[in-house]
Structure 1
């Protein structure tokens, strides 16, 4: 990375810093998520079989949507990486 310009290295540092902050914030929500999951499970136990089935279907739909969201976020990260690396690689090839 020593061949890369200072502004580019700083831009990368800032991007990784932003990602680290987002990751820490997401981890702090983990406890709240577990607590909510426990509450939902307790609620489901106290319901009729039909309601339990509806809640299970709802959970599957939410899970599917979350996986779609995560896939979209992943792909945006891949695109970010390509946008960062491609100009550097092209400038190296032409030099």
Structure 2
């Protein structure tokens, strides 16, 4: 990677630093998520069949929304990567 411009290496360091911070924040929420999931299951178990069905539909809708959000985040990451690498590829072709 020593042939890469300094601005590119700095941009990569900065981006990985941001991703690391986001990952740490998400990991801290993980135990809270597990607790919430356990409470939701206990709540759902104590409901009648109709309420359980509605809660299951709600969980499915939330799951779908989360998967859409994750897909969007993934695509933003791909776009970030392309934006970072294209200037380097173009500058290499010019030399």
Query: Could you tell me the TM-score, scaled by structure 1's length?
Result: 0.97
Displacement of 1:7: 2.2
**Alignment correspondent of 1:85:** 85
List gaps (5 residues or longer) in structure 1.
none
Higher relative contact order (CA closer than 8 Å, sequence separation 6+): 2
1:14-69 deviation line (CA, Å, top 9, x unaligned):
11001001001101100000000000000001100000000000000000000000
SS in structure 1 at match of 2:47: coil
Q: How does 1:60-75 map to 2 (within 5 A)?
A: 60-75=60-75
**Alignment correspondent of 1:6:** 6
**How much is the aligned-residue C-alpha RMSD, in angstroms?**
0.7
Query: Runs of 4 or more off by more than 3 Å in structure 1?
Result: none
Query: Could you tell me the TM-score, scaled by structure 2's length?
Result: 0.97
Q: How does 1:38-77 map to 2 (within 5 A)?
A: 38-77=38-77
**Alignment correspondent of 2:37:** 37
The count of aligned residue pairs is 95
Displacement of 1:93: 1.3
Displacement of 1:5: 1.9
SS in structure 1 at match of 2:13: helix
